[in-house]
Amino acid sequence: MAKHHGDGHHDGHNAFDVSSKVSEFEILELAVRELAIEKGIFSAEDHRRFAEWAEGVGPHGGSKLVAKAWSDPAFKQRLLENGTEACKEVGIDWLQPTGVGTPSDYTFFYVLENTPQVHNVIVCTLCSCYPRPVLGMSPDWYRTPSYRRRMVRRPREVLAEFGLHLPADVEVRVHDSNQKSRFMVMPMRPEGTEGWSEEQLARIVTRDTMIGVALPRADRTSDAGSLAEQAR
Amino acid sequence: MARPKFQVGDTVRIKDRTTLFHTRTQKFIRKRVGTIVEHRPEWVIPEDEAWDRMETGRKEPFYVIRFKQTELWPDYTGLAHDTLETEASESWLEAVKG
């Protein structure tokens, strides 16, 4: 074995091998999907359209909701009182999110308002429940056991890993979405945004600020923005 | 629609029931004491929904329960006023006199 020592680190590190392997879950998904199509529960076309919708939805709907709520106190009230209904005002229908009749597991939507006293953050310890009609697909880290286990148990440490250090007089409130409810955080409107239009405001309401692992800033329009700034 | 047994502000303990099959009541909240902060609509409980018993499954009111983090984790490293909220159906809850 000693003569192979030099390239030992290549063992089990072949990217092409990894991508050509089909996992048990992929086989399971394919089998269930084919059965559902054969039984007429949905068509292959429905499935393709759902996948296209799910992959394309993104966090823009959520950004729009927050920007509108910051600009319009009456809308903010409606959004906090009945999130599912208020979403229709920006064109998001939770009961028919795709508009093609694909059944949805999203049932109730609630917006969590941050205040100077309370900072909200969302997690799903059981799986990866996420408000997809407003935020799109969840980021990979949101679905990892590391985030799910630790966010409920050591939220301040996890937030610090995201660069978010909250003052001691702020209550950190973790929301574990384990049932039918889906949550989104409404961050506080930052300083330096006075007089901004809804479109301008929406640009700083990034995905991470609506999960609760970051705060919006007037000079930050992307979750990757702070990294780029550091690299400069 | 069954009338919810608990009201906002009530103190409750999560039961540590046996679960042979599916449940959505996390282990880390069992036997812990929290406060009801919101009602949620009545729904088929996950223990029956898992078997697709949407018509015949047991329906129960759901509640949002707020826990002090220090109640959930004796070695909690954050601050005493930090909290966690999650939901449970009525049969998982028992009243705590307080």
Q: How many CB atoms lie within 10 A of CB A7?
A: 9
- The per-residue pLDDT for range B33-87, each reduced to its tens digit, is 999 999 998 989 999 988 989 889 999 999 999 999 999 999 999 999 999 999 9
From the list A127, A146, A197, A222, the catalytic residue is A127
What is the pLDDT at residue A17? 52
Q: Do A176 and B62 touch (CB under 8 A)?
A: no
Q: What is the pTM of this model?
A: 0.86
Q: How many domains does chain B have?
A: 1
If asked whether residues A92 and A152 sit together in one domain, one would say: yes
Do A64 and A175 reside in the same domain of the chain?
yes
Note down pLDDT in tens along chain A; length 232 residues. 344 444 444 445 545 555 567 889 899 999 999 999 999 988 999 889 888 888 888 999 999 999 999 999 999 999 999 999 999 999 988 877 666 554 456 678 999 999 999 999 999 999 888 998 899 989 999 999 999 999 999 999 999 999 999 999 999 999 999 998 999 999 999 999 999 999 999 999 999 999 999 999 999 887 775 555 555 4
Distant-in-sequence, close-in-space partners of A145: CB < 8 Å, separation ≥ 6: none
Residue A2 lies in a domain: no
What is residue A9's predicted lDDT score, i.e. its pLDDT?
Answer: 47
For residue A7, what pLDDT is reported? 43
pLDDT at A31: 96
Same domain, A62 and A139: yes
Confirm if A210 and A184 have CB atoms less than 8 A apart: yes
Token pair belonging to A35? 């059965």
Query: Does B2 reside within a domain?
Result: no
Residues of A in contact with B64 (CB under 8 A): 181
Question: What six digits make up the tokens of A190?
Answer: 């930052």
Query: Cα A210 to chain center, whole Å?
Result: 8
Numbers of helices and strands, H then E, in chain A: 12, 4
The answer as to whether B4 is a domain residue is no
Residue A107 inside a domain? The answer is yes
Residues A17 and A37 in one domain: yes
Beta bridge partners of A10: none
* CATH classification of the domain holding A145: 3.90.330.10
Beta-bridge partners for A119: A172
Looking at the domain assignment, is residue A109 inside a domain? yes
Indicate if A129 belongs to the active site.
yes
What per-residue confidence (pLDDT) applies to A3?
A: 44
- Residue B95 DSSP code: E
Residue A4: predicted pLDDT = 45
CA dihedral B81, B87, A140, A63 (to 10 degrees): -80
State whether residue A176 sits within 8 Å of chain B by CB. yes
> So what's the ipTM on this one?
0.95
Residues A36 and A73 in one domain: no
Q: Hey, of A108, A180, A182, A183, which one would you mutate to test binding to chain B, going by the most B CBs within 10 A of its CB?
A: A180
A6 in a structural domain: no
Could you tell me the two tokens for A52? 């296209």
Active site residue A128: yes
- In terms of domains, do A146 and A210 share one? yes
User: Can you give the CATH number for the domain in which B41 is found?
Assistant: 2.30.30.50
Structure-token pair, residue B54 = 């949407």
- How does pLDDT run across B10-29, given as a tens digit for each residue? 999 999 998 889 999 999 99
Question: 3-state SS of B15-47?
Answer: CCCCCCCCCCCCHHHCCCEEEEEEEEEEEECHH
Q: Which domain holds residue A124?
A: 58-231
| Structural domains of chain A, count | 2
Residues A29 and A126 in one domain: no
Sign of CA dihedral A110, B24, A154, A106: negative
Tell me: do A109 and A63 sit in the same domain: yes
Domain co-membership, A45 together with A65? no
Look at residue A2 in the predicted model and tell me its pLDDT: 42
Distances (CA, A) of A194 to A71, A108, A186, A191, A197: 10, 32, 18, 7, 9
| Shared domain check, A194 and A177 | yes
Is residue B23 domain-resident? Answer: yes
**Terminal-to-terminal C-alpha distance of chain A:** 45
Please check the confidence at residue B30 and state whether its pLDDT lies above 70. yes
Separation CA A44–CA A54 (nearest Å): 15
Give every CB contact of residue A205 below 8 A, 6+ residues apart in sequence: A62, A63, A66, A67, A187, A216
| Spacing of C-alpha A93 from chain mean position | 17
- What is the domain range of residue B28? 11-95
> Among residues 52-111 of chain A, which lie with CB inside 8 Å of chain B?
107-108
Does B80 touch chain A if contact means CB atoms closer than 8 Å?
no
In the prediction, which pLDDT does A50 show? 83
- Six-digit token string for B2: 């069954």
Strand order in the sheet with B59-68: A118-123, A171-176, B83-89, B59-68, B33-44, B11-14, B93-95
Residues A28 and A138 in one domain: no
In a domain, A166, yes or no: yes
The answer to whether B83 contacts A173, with C-beta atoms less than 8 Å apart, is yes
Same domain, yes or no: A39 and A87: no
Asked if residue B1 belongs to a domain, the reply is no
The count of residues in chain A is 232
